[in-house]
Chain A
Amino acid sequence: MPILRGVLGSYTALFLVFLYAPFIVMGIISFQSGPEGGPQFPIIEWSTYWYEHVLGFAPPSRVAPLPIGEALLRSLTLAFATMLVSTVLGTLTASAFRRRFRGSGVVFYLVVLGMMVPGVLLGLGMALVAREVGIQPTWWGTAFLLHVVYTYPFAFLVMLAIFNRFDPAVEEAAWALGVPPGRTFRKITFPMIFPGVLSAMLFAFTLSYDEFPRTLFTGGSDVTMPIAIYGTFAVEIHPNLFAFGVLTTLFSFALLSVYGILMAASVRKARRVTGVQEDIA
């Protein structure tokens, strides 16, 4: 067994190298010299040119700047709206699943279908519907509807898992003591499901922010960030994409850290709530 353990351990290390290799190469090439250096080895000269290019500080060159201002703002707005709507929908649906009801299987698979259908198919379907109905596809309209179709199942599954581990006796005790339902929800239910709500929000935000197959046909003429990046596939790629990749990864880490802090705080709070119960008992 110890030999097997060693073999598997080294294998896992190799596996992680495989996962990270493109990531590291991306980081290295983002420091390629500009504006003539391309997205390949060798590094002609180390520079931060492509970072300046991304942020708009570099002098104009033949490489088109990434539409950081507008496209990024659109992506963030879309992700934020998607996050709110899909988390609310997911929480509502999952709380309905707290009791048994007829047809729950159909509803379950109807919702889960939203994450199963490939994006390009939904995008095509929505584009056809928009064409037939006669509405212009927009990133805040048709694309937003599909983003929610995609992220709502994730929120639903997360909340379902949370409610499965939820003890209804606590709520019932509050009602029995005459606490009104609204107050019970605010003071008892919500703090207990809050970690799940946070995870659902994080899922929805990151999925929507990076989503492009559903947006490709339904986003209209104003591009979101992923569509802008996809646009570069057709032309030559430059290291500015990699510099942007590094920057957004750092941003994601910041977001993740905020999530981690909120999560830790809410776990502590939930523990305090249950701690109070134990005192009473």
Chain B
Amino acid sequence: MGPSVAETGSVTTPREKFWKRNHHLLLLAPGIVWMVLFLVVPLAMMVYVSFWTQTTFAISSDLTLASWQAFFASDTYVGALLRTLRIWLTVLVVTFVIGYPTALFIGQFVRNKTTQTILLVACVIPFWTSFLIRVLAWRPMLGREGAVNIVLENLGLISEPIDALLFTELSVVIGMTQIYVVFMVGPIAFMLARIDGSLIEAARDLGASSWTIFRKIIFPLSLPGVVVGAIFVSVMVLGEFATASALSGRKVNLLGNIIVTQVGSLKWAFAAVIGVVLTAVMAVVITALLRVVDLRREI
């Protein structure tokens, strides 16, 4: 900031000086207090409670590792952890593979700003329907007599309806992909649209093929978008439980689903252990992704 009136003109007392130098602290205080009390404290509480003693009917604050041992000794829990990781990776890869070409088209091939905006808005419009209703809308899509089977049968591509579409891991992946793919497309398209056109022209003048241009210029420059998209998708998929319970008929249990069940039966310590495991997974994933790109620089 440039010199202000107080510094150049009138006399300032030490109190005013202190105030001038530190008034940003006052602006920051409410936000910091809110986040520490209602974000950091609850998360710390979760870690603390994960060491409490859980019996069938009660929980006490005597510290023990029993819940942790129970988690890693149980096939159900470890299985859920592996399943969560598997579905997260699948959805991440699928959203990238499906989303990138769309982002490439919107960001690089549509040069008209208005058309670009219209296409992006078209991608976002489905989000104005409640998340849970969007999840439920996949049931009439994927069922034995669902829209997908009807269309495929009418096209003559299949003679028998496909059963595996609903209440399987596949339906969970399909549902999550449709719900979260836009979070991949948006950031990538945004980065692609920012690429200076003369860079590509120069490369072409120097005789680079389209593939080389894509590999050496377009893709590396879109990478921050990919990372931001990957962060969005990872954060949302890792904490998911609603899509899994609605589209798998409660057959596919993710860590999130197990937390909900444990809380439902007042097994707070077990729920907390799973919560901490999930937090750890998230932290590793996000930190790894942030190593590739500095999020703060991209805003």
Asked if A12 and B260 make an inter-chain contact with CB atoms under 8 angstroms apart, the answer reads: no
The 8 Å CB contact of A8, one of B30, B105, B238, is B105
Judge whether B53 is part of the interface by a CB distance below 8 angstroms: no
Q: Interface residues of B, CB < 8 Å — how many?
A: 83
Asked if A121 and B279 make an inter-chain contact with CB atoms under 8 angstroms apart, the answer reads: yes
Asked if A233 and B245 make an inter-chain contact with CB atoms under 8 angstroms apart, the answer reads: yes
B284 to A: closest C-beta gap in Å: 13
Residue from the set A98, A107, A210 with the largest chain B CB neighbour count within 10 Å: A210
Asked if B109 and A8 make an inter-chain contact with CB atoms under 8 angstroms apart, the answer reads: yes
Task: Name the interface residues of A4-54: CB closer than 8 Å to any CB of B.
Answer: 4-5, 8-9, 11-12, 15-16, 18-23, 25-26, 29, 39-42
B125 to A: closest C-beta gap in Å: 8
Judge whether B85 is part of the interface by a CB distance below 8 angstroms: no
Closest to A142 in B: B38
Given the known A-B contacts A16-B123, A19-B126, A210-B131, are A237 and B263 also in contact in the complex, defined by CB atoms under 8 Å?
A: no
Judge whether B288 is part of the interface by a CB distance below 8 angstroms: no
Task: Name the interface residues of A95-114: CB closer than 8 Å to any CB of B.
Answer: 95-96, 98-99, 101, 105, 107-108, 110-114
Judge whether A73 is part of the interface by a CB distance below 8 angstroms: no
Taken together as a complex, chains A and B put the C-alpha atoms of A22 and B132 apart, in Å, by: 12
Given the known A-B contacts A1-B210, A152-B31, A172-B2, are A229 and B133 also in contact in the complex, defined by CB atoms under 8 Å?
A: yes
Asked if B42 and A226 make an inter-chain contact with CB atoms under 8 angstroms apart, the answer reads: no
B182 cross-chain contacts in A, Cβ below 8 A:
19
Asked if A12 and B133 make an inter-chain contact with CB atoms under 8 angstroms apart, the answer reads: no
B241 cross-chain contacts in A, Cβ below 8 A:
120, 213
Asked if B129 and A26 make an inter-chain contact with CB atoms under 8 angstroms apart, the answer reads: yes
Asked if B137 and A96 make an inter-chain contact with CB atoms under 8 angstroms apart, the answer reads: no
Interface segment, one of A57-65, A128-136, A186-194, A261-269? A128-136
The 8 Å CB contact of B104, one of A8, A110, A244, is A8
17 sample A-B contacts, Cβ–Cβ < 8 Å, listed by A number: A8-B104, A8-B109, A19-B181, A29-B140, A39-B136, A93-B28, A105-B296, A107-B28, A125-B42, A125-B46, A148-B38, A156-B31, A168-B1, A210-B131, A237-B136, A242-B137, A249-B128
* Residues of A near any B CB (own CB < 8 A): 1, 4-5, 8-9, 11-12, 15-16, 18-23, 25-26, 29, 39-42, 89-90, 92-93, 95-96, 98-99, 101, 105, 107-108, 110-122, 124-129, 131-132, 145-146, 148-149, 152, 156-157, 160-161, 164, 168-169, 172, 175-176, 206, 210, 212-213, 216-217, 225-226, 229-230, 232-233, 237, 241-242, 244-245, 248-249, 252-253, 256
